[in-house]
Amino acid sequence: MRLYCSETILMDQKSGFSRSDVEENRLESDFDKLYSTIMDNSNAYHNMEKALDQLGVQLSTDLVVDVLDRLRFEEKIAFRFFTWAGHQENYSHERCAYNDMIDIVSSTKYKVKQFRIVCDLLDYMKRHDKNNVPVEVLFTILKQYTEKHLTHLQKFAKKKRIKVKTQPEINAFNLLLDALCKCSLVKDAEGLFKKVKNKIKPDADTFNILFFGWCRVRNPTGGMRVLEEMIQLGHAPDSFTYVTAIDTFCRAGMVTEASELFDFMRTKGSTMSSPTAKAYAIMIVALVQNDRMEECFKLLGHMINSGCLPDVSTYKDIIEGMCLCGKVDEAYKFLEEMGNKGYPPDIVTYNCFLKVLCDNNKCSDALRLYGRMIEVGCLPSVQTYNMLISMFFEMGDPDGAFETWHEMDKKGCVPDTDTYCVMIEGLFNCNKVEDACYLLEDVVNNGMKLPYRKFDSFIMQLSVIGDLQAIHRLSDHMRKFYNPAMERRFALNQKRRSMSLKGK
């Protein structure tokens, strides 16, 4: 916190404090309120500006500069706060505030092109003491930016004899809108768009940027308004645009609206906007979560009939979405439906399902799925057993882990390094030290290379029990794979530590 200076210090006879002390305490309190409110509402979909309005804090240049200084490495949040402060009554940014904001956004390592235009705007405002940038000046800045940073595109187009159909300024203008939307200043971006859309002809990217901006702040109504205007002006949204809208509606709980948009996309959309497997997965999970199972499996039929089959990623999304909302039986039914349509699940699909169950410690469901895999003749992989072993140790059931280890051997599945690491780490955590040391001997005898972090962890466990022989044996073995001098120093340090523990 910086120190606030005043020209005179007057003493309050009753309290015994100087007025500067009282003022500084008030400013520090206001700073804490502003900063905590900003950080609590820093997500894109939070209405940070509304939360700041409700504080009723009286702004001053010193206060704004201090907040900007604290937000120096959060350029998007800093720009949001700077914009909000500039709209407050009885306050206007002074030159030092502009300087700090320009310094913050110009030093960012991310999205440099977008923020470079913001820097130009702020620089103009600083030099001309403006709170609003006139449209004519905006055009000048955009043209200067185009001449500086987009000229090579024009040269390339001329060299290749490509006719450029868009105005050069629209590229720079889109970057400016993108910067504002990424800072969650979508209302400001739309206001700027309305000012200039009669002078600069917007393209599909312009509408997409605004649309994604409304989606970012979780405002489906604003996004749909932009989408309708986009279609009216003859710009066809692509599949990615629709998927973003559907995902936004579903996250906001507007499943009916998402379903209507999906039907439009499926029945009336162009070839470019036909639903992808990702779009189907989002809708299926949303319908399951809202107990609309009949619509869910009807949509699954459309998905298969259209030839849009789920890949590994979408399989995982659908199964995970069903399991997390407690619809495990529905997930099984989903696999059955896929099998009945001639697309039986493979080991990768089953492992995706099993991972969700194991991560949520659903032991009975995981074992049920394992039994089903055996029944349908889908041979479990080493990853299958690794997940089951890890789940048993997480649940504090080493006997179940040992049974899985032996089952793995019966099925002829050879354990890999990850299997040994999961077993050894789990046994150490369950205080089954002898069994863990026995498996470590296997690691050495089989010439297996342990990940360095696991090796470090196992050495620490051996140091605690004071097993110097095991420490040296494991260290000598690992020296084949890692820096010998480093491993030697590490082993000696562990030996000294274990000797000191034994002395105690």
Quickly list DSSP for 124-143: HHHHHT-SS--HHHHHHHHH
Residue in 340, 422, 346 with CA at minimum distance from that of residue 379:
346
User: Is 110 domain-assigned?
Assistant: yes
- CA-CA distance, 130 to 222, in Å (whole number)? 29
Residues in contact with 242: Cβ distance below 8 Å, sequence separation at least 6, in sequence order: 261, 262, 265, 269, 273, 275, 279
Q: In the prediction, which pLDDT does 384 show?
A: 92
Structure tokens at 140: 């000048």
Q: In the prediction, which pLDDT does 382 show?
A: 93
3-state secondary structure of 291: coil
User: Is 57 domain-assigned?
Assistant: yes
- CA-CA distance, 38 to 7, in Å (whole number)? 31
The domain of 60 spans: 31-37+53-151+167-200
Which residue shows structure tokens 């200043």? 185
Q: In the prediction, which pLDDT does 383 show?
A: 93
Q: In the prediction, which pLDDT does 418 show?
A: 92
265 close to 230: Cβ distance less than 8 angstroms: no
- Taking residue 102's Cβ as centre, other Cβ atoms within 10 Å add up to 19
pLDDT digits (tens, 9 = 90+) for 365-412: 889 889 888 888 888 999 999 999 999 998 889 999 999 999 998 888
* Residue 230 burial by Cβ neighbours in a 10 Å radius (0-12, 13-18, 19+): buried
Q: In the prediction, which pLDDT does 489 show?
A: 60
User: Is 502 domain-assigned?
Assistant: yes
3-state secondary structure of 12: coil
Q: In the prediction, which pLDDT does 2 show?
A: 41
User: Is 68 domain-assigned?
Assistant: yes
User: Hey, what amino acid is at 87?
Assistant: H
Q: In the prediction, which pLDDT does 11 show?
A: 43
Residue 162, φ and ψ in degrees, nearest 5: -100, 130
Element containing residue 356 per DSSP (H, E) = helix 347-359
User: Hey, what amino acid is at 161?
Assistant: R
User: Is 193 domain-assigned?
Assistant: yes
Structure tokens at 351: 């492992």
Residue in 32, 27, 37 with CA at minimum distance from that of residue 84:
37
CA 461 to chain centre: 35
- CA-CA distance, 145 to 149, in Å (whole number)? 6
Ranges of residues in the chain with a pLDDT under 50 are 1-19, 504
User: Is 175 domain-assigned?
Assistant: yes
Question: What is the tally of structural domains in the chain?
Answer: 2
Helices (H) and strands (E) in the chain, counts: 27, 0
- CA-CA distance, 275 to 303, in Å (whole number)? 9
User: Is 269 domain-assigned?
Assistant: no
299 close to 284: Cβ distance less than 8 angstroms: yes
- Taking residue 439's Cβ as centre, other Cβ atoms within 10 Å add up to 19
The number of C-alpha atoms within 13 Å of 219 and in the hemisphere containing its C-beta is 19
User: Is 312 domain-assigned?
Assistant: no
CA 273 to chain centre: 25
- CA-CA distance, 312 to 309, in Å (whole number)? 10
Which residue shows structure tokens 């099984």? 332
Residue in 193, 192, 257, 191 with CA at minimum distance from that of residue 219:
257
CA dihedral 406, 410, 412, 418 (to 10 degrees): -10
